Structure 1
């Protein structure tokens, strides 16, 4: 499964209104399960994994989170791109410090061996000032879809 196929325009929501990370997980888990991407254990699985291994990242240009659950909860690979209407608090990868994010990439990975490569490719993207500027100013999901698809092609050709 290539990254381009993991990103679908129906898995981009740039106006999610939630109060906190737990509510965000509940909303997204319900949507993913309704579309057949995850099974009923996903919500508990993503909460447990995030508790043990937080995924908040502070990059030079953007704070984001990359939550993911163990493979037994994933039915079909996906990347669900979410932007919250207000910042929410998450814990940072590595040091567990609290931080705020609005951009969250839920990763549904079926093959654990591909997780590191996917994370590396995402990090390459978020280290590009022009990409992040375009991503942050785009409020239309079809435009985000086109931007992500185009950028992934460029990352692959580096």
Structure 2
């Protein structure tokens, strides 16, 4: 699964990131990806539109997460941005779109190949089902520790 590991970039693991609401969070994180050349100028609008139609919040065990993403047309180079928030941001729950999710960890995907997006989402879902792993990521004090934990999980075979 080295394609998934290649999506990790330690400089895109943000510690103690702050935003007052979902739109501010998505715009801020999207701007970081745009400034670093990972996504096109259309990425943020695509992200906001898709989040309204297909919410990405997950009430996962231990730490709630959100996995905002949009379509490949908005992506220049594939990557996953991880943000550990200094306070939760409310997302709507994936699937139902009704319940609120107070997300503390954000896994923002910028994936160019739709097949890889399915594989990556599947790998991330396996992480999200493990309370211990999520807590390890959330409680990490250093970017490098988060990177190593995710790398290990993404390298594992399903």
TM superposition score category, shorter chain reference: over 0.9
Secondary structure of 1:10's match? helix
1:61 touches 1:127 (CA, 8 Å); kept in 2?
no
Shift of 1:148: 1.0
Secondary structure of 2:12's match? strand
Unaligned runs of 5+ residues in structure 2 are none
Residue equivalent to 1:56? 57
TM-score (norm 1): 0.93
Q: List 4+ stretches of structure 1 deviating above 4 A.
A: none
What does 1:98-109 correspond to in 2, within 5 Å?
Answer: 98-109=100-111
Supply the distance in 2 between the matched residues of 1:133 and 1:56 (Cα, whole angstroms).
17
Which structure has more strand as a fraction of its residues?
1
What does 1:46-85 correspond to in 2, within 5 Å?
Answer: 46-85=47-86
Supply the distance in 2 between the matched residues of 1:15 and 1:70 (Cα, whole angstroms).
27
Residue equivalent to 1:112? 114
What does 1:2-151 correspond to in 2, within 5 Å?
Answer: 2-96=3-97, 97-151=99-153
- Over aligned residue pairs, what C-alpha RMSD do you find? 1.3
Which deviates more, 95-104 or 75-84? 95-104
Which deviates more, 17-26 or 124-133? 124-133
Aligned residues: 156
Secondary structure of 1:76's match? coil
Supply the distance in 2 between the matched residues of 1:151 and 1:49 (Cα, whole angstroms).
27
TM-score (norm 2): 0.93
CA distances 1:54-102 after superposition (whole Å, capped 9, x unpaired): 0111123331000001111100000000111111111001111222111
